[in-house]
Amino acid sequence: MDIAGRVAVVTGAASGIGLGLAGRFLAEGMSVVMADVEREALEREASRLDDGSGRLRAVPCDVGDPEQVARLRDETLAAFGAVHVLCNNAGVAGGRPLLKTRPALWRWIVDVNLLGVAYGIQAFAPLMVAQGVGHVVNTASEAGLIPAPLVGAYCATKYAVVGLSESLALELENTGVGVSCLCPELVSTRIFESTRNAPPALGLPQPPSIPIDQIAQLMNTTALSPDDVAGRVVDAIRENRFWIITHDVTHRRLRQRNADLEQGRSPSHPVQA
């Protein structure tokens, strides 16, 4: 798909990968709606990116609430009249060992990481199918392909996003609407500070939300920049490519996981970078 002149909606656009995507889409000549639950950061980053061309809007939105996602669609249509690219990117990583993951934490992570993607598809994909052109990019993670300890709930939702994306690609075959599934390993963002957006009722400690040292050791690789990831997403949209695997190490870990699976072995710890 040619993207210049098209309209993109990006959730989780006030920080990290989403912010990188919004900036890149604008630079490519698209109109962009930035959506995020963190209002101050959203306003700040939108004014920083706004070049006065009228191609940028910022819409506060909690993707875990289907009514807010439907409003995001309506505001996008009111502003730009169509939607061609949807990046279901908002996500949180409230890491805990599974034995310590309480129901409220599960619900928050599932609401944002999984249902947020599902609501985005439900609100926007029918428009794309009706216009016969569009592309949905779902941000999963390497953690949606390969298991990791200490982030079980996160892994569960990201595996779900991979499965959902694969089903969607099959359902949308021959509609003119493409699907991509973004599965990065480490990207330098504020993901480890996700609890900044957690409902206060969860009583989660404010950032950092997970043991950064252990995760860093586990991943043990250089983080990519959000801009680099955004460039790969643009390439995948242009080429209508499903998998966006950003790190070479993910391929090695996938080979190990697939071998475990085929040979009936229990999960291995991920190979180091």
Ligand X SMILES: NC(=O)c1ccc[n+]([C@@H]2O[C@H](COP(=O)([O-])OP(=O)(O)OC[C@H]3O[C@@H](n4cnc5c(N)ncnc54)[C@H](O)[C@@H]3O)[C@@H](O)[C@H]2O)c1
Closest CA relative to residue 89, chosen from 121, 137, 142: 137
130 vs 216, which CB is nearer to ligand X? 216
Give the single-character DSSP code of 40.
H
Tell me, residue by residue from 152 to 181, as one string, x for binding to ligand X by CB under 6 A and - for no binding. ------------------------------
Backbone conformation region of residue 196, classed left if phi is above 0, alpha if psi is from -120 to 50, else beta: alpha
Nearest approach in angstroms of CB 92 to ligand X is 5
The SS3 call for residue 209 is coil
Q: Which of 9, 23, 24, 38 binds ligand X (CB under 6 A)?
A: 38
Which neighbouring-strand residues pair with 243? 181
Our measurement of the distance from residue 203's CA atom to the centroid of its chain's CA atoms, rounded to an integer in Å, reads: 25
Task: Report residue 196 as tokens.
Answer: 């900044």
Tell me, residue by residue from 39 to 78, as one string, x for binding to ligand X by CB under 6 A and - for no binding. --x-------------------xxxx--------------
Residue 124 near ligand X by CB under 6 A? no
For the beta sheet containing 31-36, the strands, ordered from the edge strand earlier in sequence to the opposite edge, are 56-60, 31-36, 7-11, 85-88, 134-139, 177-182, 243-244
Residues between 188 and 247 with contacts to ligand X, criterion CB under 6 A: 189-191, 194, 197
Nearest approach in angstroms of CB 271 to ligand X is 17
> Distance (Å, rounded) from C-alpha 217 to C-alpha 198?
25
Residue 105 near ligand X by CB under 6 A? no
Nearest approach in angstroms of CB 116 to ligand X is 6
7 vs 72, which CB is nearer to ligand X? 72
Stretch that binds ligand X, among 34-42, 121-129, 167-175, 204-212 (CB under 6 A): 34-42
Contact assessment for residue 238 and residue 3, using Cβ atoms and an 8 Å cutoff: yes
Nearest approach in angstroms of CB 25 to ligand X is 15
CA separation, residue 209 to residues 39, 190, 259, 266 (Å) = 20, 10, 33, 28
Q: Which of 7, 8, 10, 14 binds ligand X (CB under 6 A)?
A: 14
Q: Which of 10, 12, 84, 134 binds ligand X (CB under 6 A)?
A: 12
Nearest approach in angstroms of CB 195 to ligand X is 10
Nearest approach in angstroms of CB 193 to ligand X is 6
CA-based radius of gyration for the chain: 18
Residue 184 near ligand X by CB under 6 A? yes
Give me the helix-helix angle, 116-131 and 152-171, nearest 10°: 20
Residue from 154, 155, 156, 164 carrying the catalytic annotation: 154
Stretch that binds ligand X, among 86-94, 170-178, 200-208, 232-240 (CB under 6 A): 86-94
Task: Report residue 35 as tokens.
Answer: 């959506």
Sign of CA dihedral 265, 261, 183, 165: negative
* Measured torsion, CA atoms of residues 121, 202, 35, 122, in degrees rounded to the nearest 10: 10
Q: Answer yes or no: 119 catalytic.
A: no
The catalytic residues are 154
Q: Contact positions toward ligand X, by CB under 6 A?
A: 11-12, 14-18, 36-38, 41, 61-64, 89-93, 112, 139, 141, 184, 186-187, 189-191, 194, 197
